[in-house]
Structure 1
Amino acid sequence: MYQLLSLVINIPFFCYALAHPNNVAWYGGPMHVECEHALNLFTGSGQYVKENVIATKAVSFNDDVYVMTPRMKRGVLATVWLLVSGRQGPALEPFPSLSAHAVADCGSIQNAVDYHLDYIGNLWILDSGIIDTLEAPRCTCKPKVVVISTLLRTVTKLLDLTTAEPSSLLQNVAVDYGLGGKPFVYISDAARGAILVRDATSNTEWTVLFCAPSSGLQITLGKRGPAHNVLMVVRAHQPGLIEIECAALRKRNSALPLRAFGENTRPVFLLGSDAHHIYLRHADGADVLSWDVRDGYNMSQLISIHSPGPRLVPTSVFADPLKHSLLILDSNYGDVINSNSPAYQRISFIGQL
């Protein structure tokens, strides 16, 4: 089990963090641009509405933090950003560039709804192709996966999702490496109760149906051994978790052994994973809980590692293997989607021993 302690992160732009030296907090989407005149133009034209920029996920590679802000409301100029030090505190810089997020350009990212950072610094971005989802949803392009190298700061691959349907509700992406470093992409489709599997090397794709349609279907990778990867799945408003063998998913038309945990427990939301640890929260709670998949799944095995505070909810947990720390993103997400209040988001760093 993890023992937790506060960890001061030695990264220049964190020196002004609010409240604690290991926290970073900001309102809405303070955008970093070289020319203030350009920012005024974006604001005046309605292309950029700071209060509508809502962060839902954050990951880190080397000393950089990347933030995802889906296009849920109008005025979101980009959906993946690099967190930098601005003139008045934390600021967001479109990543890898502003042009990479051009609306209606199907070679660009339309709406990042999830991403996966792999061990060599590639961001695998799930682009739903549907923007302004909370206000006036419109489909600008077909769904795809966009791969960006954080080291090269460039898009290296576009994967069209050929098995997605017009009714698909794509929500999460995970990337698993098989023998020889061959990448397989898993994408959850809640509308069909399915996992889309993409062999990124051969560009073949297939769909695995395994449960009834749902309003939400979350996935994250876990490990039961050095070469034994599993996919953990949670259905919205349903208690427990489902475990799927990645080896079976990678073999087209193979039998799919499923294992269920916690059928009589409270429904949960998945927040992230770290080898054999799964991070989650109860649907009716806000504390981040850690579950070691090598132990049984019950209330006594869930360890509380973080409490976000009043009116805040954790939306993602990312484990940085090099710094031996967890990066936790909290926000007033619920207040923002139900009202016009500006988004408040905070990143906390929790060390591991």
Structure 2
Amino acid sequence: MQHFVNSFILFCWCIVICDGHLKNLAWNGGPLHLKCEFSPDLWMRGGYIKDNVIAVKAVPYKDDIYVITPRMKQGVMATLWLIIREKNSVELQPYPELRDHKLSDCNAIQNAVDFYLDHLGKLWILDTGIIDTLSNPQCTCPPKVVVVNLLLGKLIKRIDISSHMEANSLLQNIVVEYALGGNAFIYASDASRGAILVHEVSTGAGWSVVTCGPATGLQISLVKRVTHAVLILVRLHYPGIIELDTTTLRRKDSLTPMTVFGEHSKPVVLLGADNFHVYLRHTECSDVLVWNSRDAYNSSCLDNIHSAGPRMTTTSVAADPLKNVLIVLDSNYLDTLQGNSPTYHKISFINKNV
């Protein structure tokens, strides 16, 4: 039995197994796992730069874990990966295939900034079409939503959302809701306008709903209520959590009533949601908190379920319903953005006892 001794030793790769259950995964930058299919040098300007690969979100599906690594700097070969777990290492394999990430090919994924896994095993990927966002931003393709079927391991749909946007739009988060009858609706946040883009998949119709003032970040999560679903919104660096009834979002010309919780409390960062639970952290703290949204919001009475550790920041929390565990992604990406060292990533598996 191998024990994970120190969770912050850089340049250390490890997998910890305890009582037959996987407990932690850790890796630095982008350790590469390639099938013998293509040479990455043909598609990447400047080659593959492992140190520029920063994972920001992880999601489990069956026995696999998928992560996204936005193209913030040059040398990021792909932005959607399957984690390959070997005996004593972690590697990242471009998913579904390396060719699905070819730069300037508008059928391929250019820059995945967020994804959403639905109950059918479909991964909905928000692709901004803008690469090298921190070093030298370039628009290679129009923004779109790409759908990958994880059961088939194939890219099955591309949805152009450019008509819903403006020149300065800043797309950040995506969630998908199935209405009665099975029709899917895409909700994507546009921080530059404080708006939610709504796209009805079956008809191709789309519109924008302004929900708040512009901000550097606008995060969204989908939360269940007894009879319906609501969209939870957070403006980064602003106090308060906004709740929108999605049934009104789906009516193009209707007014959208909002409920605001904790408008005088600490600003928070959304990390994920599962049914009626919302996972978040206060902006000045790394502890992961959970809000049972069936109860009134009180920022001082949230349950603490995880601490990222020194110099680490939690960027996503996702539930694995089959194993009743939460997948928590921590990293020191802030250190990486300020320097040239590879990002240290850690995925923790914690019991879902809330």
Matched residue, 2:273: 273
Q: CA deviation at 1:47?
A: 2.2
Q: Which amino acid aligns with 1:29?
A: G
SS at match of 2:164: coil
Aligned CA distance change for structure 1 residues 49 and 19 (closer, same or farther; 3 Å) = farther
Q: In structure 1, list runs of 5 or more residues that go unmatched.
A: 1-14
Counting only pairs closer than 5 Å after superposition, residues 1-353 of structure 1 correspond to structure 2 as 17-18=15-16, 21-35=22-36, 38=39, 46-86=46-86, 89-161=89-161, 162-225=163-226, 227-353=227-353
- RCO (CA 8 Å, sep 6+): is it higher in 1 or 2? 1
Give yes or no for contact 1:18–1:25 (8 Å, CA) kept in 2. no
Q: CA deviation at 1:337?
A: 1.2
Aligned CA distance change for structure 1 residues 132 and 87 (closer, same or farther; 3 Å) = farther
Q: Which amino acid aligns with 1:32?
A: H
Aligned CA distance change for structure 1 residues 147 and 45 (closer, same or farther; 3 Å) = closer
Aligned CA distance change for structure 1 residues 37 and 138 (closer, same or farther; 3 Å) = closer
CA RMSD of aligned residues (A): 2.0
SS at match of 1:299: coil
Question: For 1:160-181, what per-residue CA distance to the aligned partner results, in whole angstroms no more than 9, with x for missing partners?
Answer: 0121112100000010111012
Q: Which amino acid aligns with 1:275?
A: N
Question: For 1:170-226, what per-residue CA distance to the aligned partner results, in whole angstroms no more than 9, with x for missing partners?
Answer: 00001011101211000000111100000011111011012111111100011121x
Give yes or no for contact 2:113–2:127 (8 Å, CA) kept in 1. yes
Q: Which amino acid aligns with 1:304?
A: N
Q: Which amino acid aligns with 2:24?
A: N
Aligned CA distance change for structure 1 residues 136 and 259 (closer, same or farther; 3 Å) = same
Q: Which amino acid aligns with 1:279?
A: Y
Give yes or no for contact 1:195–1:209 (8 Å, CA) kept in 2. yes
Q: Between Structure 1 and Structure 2, how many residues are aligned? A: 337
SS at match of 1:175: strand
Q: CA deviation at 1:299?
A: 2.8
**Residues of 2 paired with 1:352 and 1:190: CA distance?**
31
Q: CA deviation at 1:36?
A: 11
Give yes or no for contact 1:66–1:80 (8 Å, CA) kept in 2. yes
Question: For 1:69-127, what per-residue CA distance to the aligned partner results, in whole angstroms no more than 9, with x for missing partners?
Answer: 00001100000000013586110110000000000001110000000000111110000
Give yes or no for contact 1:117–1:123 (8 Å, CA) kept in 2. yes
**Residues of 2 paired with 1:141 and 1:132: CA distance?**
13
Give yes or no for contact 2:44–2:75 (8 Å, CA) kept in 1. no
Give yes or no for contact 1:32–1:86 (8 Å, CA) kept in 2. no
Give yes or no for contact 2:14–2:88 (8 Å, CA) kept in 1. no
Q: Structure 2 length as normaliser, TM-score?
A: 0.91
**Residues of 2 paired with 1:194 and 1:347: CA distance?**
32
Aligned CA distance change for structure 1 residues 43 and 195 (closer, same or farther; 3 Å) = closer
Give yes or no for contact 2:104–2:141 (8 Å, CA) kept in 1. yes
**Residues of 1 paired with 2:55 and 2:95: CA distance?**
14
Q: In structure 2, list runs of 5 or more residues that go unmatched.
A: 1-12
Runs of 4+ in 1 over 3 A off after TM superposition: 18-21, 34-39, 41-45
Q: Which amino acid aligns with 2:349?
A: F
Give yes or no for contact 1:43–1:49 (8 Å, CA) kept in 2. no
Give yes or no for contact 1:290–1:305 (8 Å, CA) kept in 2. yes
SS at match of 1:180: coil
Q: Which amino acid aligns with 1:189?
A: D
SS at match of 1:75: coil
Q: Which amino acid aligns with 1:253?
A: D
Give yes or no for contact 2:72–2:132 (8 Å, CA) kept in 1. yes
